[in-house]
Amino acid sequence: MSDLLNLFGEPVVEVDDGKLKEAKKEIAKLRKEINYHSELYYNQDKPEISDYEFDMLMKRLKALETEFPMLITKSSPTQRVGGAAKAGFSEAMHAVPMQSLNDVFSYAEVEEFVRKVTEEYGENTEFVVETKIDGLSVSLEYVDGVLKKGSTRGNGLVGEEITDNLLQLDEISEKLNTNDTIEVRGEVYLSRARFDELNDELEKAGKPLMANSRNAAAGTLRQLDSNVVKQRGLSIFVFNVQKSEKKFETHSESLDYARKIGITTIAYSKVAVGIEEVLECITEIGNLRDSLPYDIDGAVVKVNNLSLRETLGTTTKVPKWAVAYKYPPEEKETVIEEIKLQVGRTGQVTPLAIVTPVRVAGSTISKCTLHNFDYIKEKDIRVGDTVKIRKAGDVIPEIATVVMSKRDKQQEYIVPTVCPVCGEILEKEEGQVALRCTNSECGAQSFRAIEHFASREAMDIDGLGEAIVEQLIDNGLVSDVADIYYLTYEQVKGLDKFKEKSSKNLIDAINESKKNTLDKLIFGLGIRHIGKKAAKVLAEHVDTIYDFTHMTSEDLYRIDEVGEKMADSVVEFFSKTKTMEIIDRLDKAGVNLKGIKEEKASNKLDGMTIVVTGSFDEISRNDLSKLIESHSGKVSSSVSKKTSLVIAGENAGSKLDKANELGVEIVDYTEFKNRYGI
């Protein structure tokens, strides 16, 4: 037995060194991935993967940390809640921490939870089973019956103070019908009907649709303008009394009281005794799922007796008296009515399935991506097939399987040979699955190029959505992205459904976009293989966009993070006459073409690749990385043979092992500063 203790003061059991190294490596990878997706989910309301996929990552991390408890750290995602306060809102401290719940994914895990509690505290122990609403968790604090503070969960200890926004909800009263001092916790959500209405309005306005009701609710509640919140029509269910002057014996009693004093409480909340009753309630909620007017992502099982909750206690992140059962990813059957072809901004032709509308994971689906023609062949997808669809990343609808038992005489899909828009022969590049139209004058390419250019991630021209771009092209007002900057107020006002205010807003948005940094313009131009990150890297290495016209592939390839394909693509793009015509007209229109080179404090670290690991009392890791870059050094996230130096703080972890293995020098922060005079 080792003398070492882990985070919880437990003795560390010695394990096979090889297994430990592998576990360290996988844990580091999982934590990085989970932190990335937590940031998107909790703070940006823009998830890239489904809740189920995220849950599986977290489940694997928990399993590894259980097997190797010596590797648990306070900063691990399993030990904290993922949210943070948004800039623009005041911070709100929670007197009672707003914890998350321990997720389980099978009836067997629910049974294990109930069994453990009942074995220790008696077979007649009561549990409460409730719907787990898919929204944003908030706290409401009433003093003498008046709402004094409303806040988001944030990281569980500190959230955002959003009282004015919460008062825009019809179900939240500023004054209760008693003078109670009470704090309650609830879930703010967007009903299915209201979500569909809002998406209809966005579609008519030519704006991007909201991906799902959870993101819509979270994004709305964190708006800085309370009027926007009022217009969206959010709702709330309160599911817990956090703190009260009155004493309650049970959770169900506390909810009954909250309801009596004017608080809108959770609609489905049933008391159950024993595993059979608990599972019956979970099954009932699962069966109700489609018919509920709001989205849920699980069922919560919690101990009803409040003093028993105190006895059971909590971990740093979750209560020990509750679990959240998560239903499997939702799949629905529908029928493929048509397979349409879309031509993207780079000429790639992508098949799209038009399906009989069906509701899946919070939104009504009428079309599904088919990825590419090899995907159609692999799954043997045919028009008229009954298929099961799901949402990939809770955002993109895709076909999971074809229901072969319902296939009749559907014909095999024939891959197209010509562009559906211009009739040009489609080509497939060596080693690629995509078919591409190579006609640069293709109308579809122009449409997609302009739409992409105006999108939020590129030039961010508010109001210039798909429907408006289509009108502009149909009316002969634009044929390429430069034309946007020569539009007049009178021309826009002549478009369908455009009035004085909307016309002025669009022209103002176009003019405002002229000030954007060069990376947004580069990304907006739609150069093949150049995403947002690559666009920023390129913009940091030129004085103006014109520098690209005399750079070779070799020049570009020498830039860190620019690959061979990327370099060749940039050279090819800027060698075209049409490209330079567009750039010249953008320049003439006053669009910013200047690079974003940063002035370096010195060249002391020029040519060095440095890895920063662990935590530092004197400086944050982010600020240390910026300091290195300001002196011409490159910061890398992983140790390799190319690493010049590792700067190690406390709890540095597996990167030190790798550095020692490769013979890379390791220094602390003080030694680094003294050596380089920084």
Number of neighbouring beta carbons within 10 Å of residue 509? 16
Rounded CA gap, 487 and 496, in Å?
A: 15
132 flagged as catalytic: yes
Residue of 585, 548, 554 lying closest to 570 (CA atoms): 548
In angstroms, the CA 311 to CA 315 distance is: 12
| Nearest of 483, 523, 487, 481 to residue 506 by alpha carbon | 487
**Token output for 116:** 């453990």
- The pair of three-digit structure tokens given for residue 170, joined into one six-digit string: 């019809």
Query: Which is the catalytic residue, given 21, 25, 116, 132?
Result: 132
Q: Which residues contact 626 (CB under 8 A, 6 or more apart)?
A: none
**How far is the C-alpha of 538 from the C-alpha of 550, rounded, in Å?**
14
Tell me, what amino acid is at 531? Answer: G
Q: Which residues pair with 271 in a beta bridge?
A: 128
Q: What Rg value do the Cα atoms of the chain yield, rounded?
A: 28
Query: What SS3 class is residue 387?
Result: strand
- Which of 258, 265, 261 is closest to 177 using CA atoms? 261
| Cβ–Cβ < 8 Å for 381, 414 | no
**Residue 291, Cβ neighbours under 10 Å: how many?**
6
Asked whether the CA dihedral 624, 626, 627, 628 is positive or negative, the reply is positive
- Residue 596: CA count within 13 A, CB half-sphere: 15
d(CA 160, CA 109): 34
The residues, any chain, with a CB within 8 Å of residue 584's CB and separated by 6 or more, are: none
Question: Six-digit token pair at 100?
Answer: 């998350």
In contact, 103 and 324? CB cutoff 8 Å:
yes
Active site residues per annotation: 132
